[in-house]
Amino acid sequence: MSRTAKPIPVSEEQYMELEAMMRSHKLERRYGLRAQVIVLSHDGHSLDGIIKRTGMTRPTVNKWRNRFRKMGVAGLKDAPRPGKPGTITAQQKARVVQKACEKPTGGYTNWSQERIASAVGISQSSVHLILKHADLKPHKTEYWCGKSPDPEFESKMLTIIGLYMNPPANAIVLSVDEKTQIQALDRTQPILPLRAGAPKRMTATYKRNGTVALMAALSVHTGMITATPVKANNAATFLTFLKKLDRTFRDNHLHIITDNLAVHKSKEVKAWLKTKRKITMHFTPTYSSWLNQIEIWFNMLAKDVLKNGVWKSTKQLVDQIMEYIRTYNEQRAAPFQWTYSGPARIV
């Protein structure tokens, strides 16, 4: 007759933790089996049944049952094993952390694990373990938007977001900006096309064939793009573009969102705007051009057209950009969707 295992008291919280260990795909399998031993014991299974279901020996099953009785779930972890004493001193560990957190000398901007190891006099693998334990990643940089010093940041931000979310009746909201210094780059050798087993290849050497700038306006609530290529970005070309927008949307009140570039606030522009009651300019707060939705579209343009492009002249570059805009308006134009679902934030 199979020997009955003595029941092991398990609290509800412990039971849930044991079940989580059994289901986990991240824990090593042995931890899940140890948790299973305790769950089966708690559920009234015999020792022989537990041995059969887990594949463990009787002494091993009893070992983990006894460890759980004494230490709870923590007892299912491996006990520390004696081994070779560590050769890295506490002082060396502190120096690794200090080096990782300070600015390097010798003209370097960032520390590498190899250079930290050389400076401290230990192996690179030891540096890796020390940094991992301290949760330090000197190789990694995260970017964030700094706080705008604009005293009117909140009011300007709320106005712009209000235009995005709830525009006035019979109004067109346009997000306007320039993308400057678009280079018409040609390669010194023909491109080798994509083929099975090999990516598209091009030479690292190139020839510059001039630059162009693009003035663009995104109609926020339709996604349509109005754009004009220009040779230079100045007050005159910006005013010409504003006049084009005025003619294009003559039957609507225009709310134009743009940044604080000097050409957007020139005397000529201000004088012309005084004659236009149906145009209202909204300037993003300083250091906050990310509020302008046209920047999203410029990023799409860079990825879809400009990255790895090859052009033998600025005309060829402009023709491709304008063809892309026509295709975008016909096939892809749509309002950008608001996806942030976290708490409201004021920077």
Structure confidence at residue 45 (pLDDT): 87
Looking up residue 237, the CATH number of its domain turns out to be: 3.30.420.10
Structure confidence at residue 2 (pLDDT): 52
> Are 161 and 37 in a shared domain?
no
pLDDT digits (tens, 9 = 90+) for 126-154: 999 999 999 998 888 887 777 788 899 99
For residue 4, pLDDT over 70 is answered with: no
Structure confidence at residue 276 (pLDDT): 94
Residue 94 lies in a domain: yes
* pLDDT class of 332 with cuts at 50, 70, 90: very high
* pLDDT class of 293 with cuts at 50, 70, 90: very high
Domain limit, last residue, from 133, 164, 198: 133
> Are 64 and 95 in a shared domain?
no
* pLDDT class of 347 with cuts at 50, 70, 90: very low
Alpha-carbon distance 123 to 137, whole Å?
A: 17
* pLDDT class of 275 with cuts at 50, 70, 90: very high
- Find out whether 218 and 297 touch, Cβ atoms under 8 Å: yes
Residue 325, both tokens? 């805009």
Q: Strand, coil or helix: what is 214?
A: strand
Residue 201 lies in a domain: yes
Structure confidence at residue 232 (pLDDT): 87
Residue 339 lies in a domain: no
Residue 215 lies in a domain: yes
* pLDDT class of 211 with cuts at 50, 70, 90: very high
Please state the pTM of the whole predicted model. Answer: 0.66
> Are 181 and 66 in a shared domain?
no
Q: Domain containing 61: what range? A: 12-76
Alpha-carbon distance 206 to 240, whole Å?
A: 34
Residue 129 main-chain phi, psi, to 5 deg: -70, -40
| pLDDT mean over 266-281 | 95
- Find out whether 184 and 221 touch, Cβ atoms under 8 Å: no
Residue 139 lies in a domain: no
In 3D space, the residue among 237, 235, 185, 236 whose CA is nearest the CA of residue 214 turns out to be 237
For residue 222, pLDDT over 60 is answered with: yes
Domain count, the chain: 3
Which residues fall within 8 angstroms of residue 204, CB to CB, at 6 or more apart? Answer: none
In 3D space, the residue among 39, 41, 51 whose CA is nearest the CA of residue 12 turns out to be 39
pLDDT digits (tens, 9 = 90+) for 174-194: 999 999 999 999 988 888 888
Determine the residue type at 327.
T
Residue 181, both tokens? 């210094």
> Are 297 and 266 in a shared domain?
yes
Residue 42 lies in a domain: yes
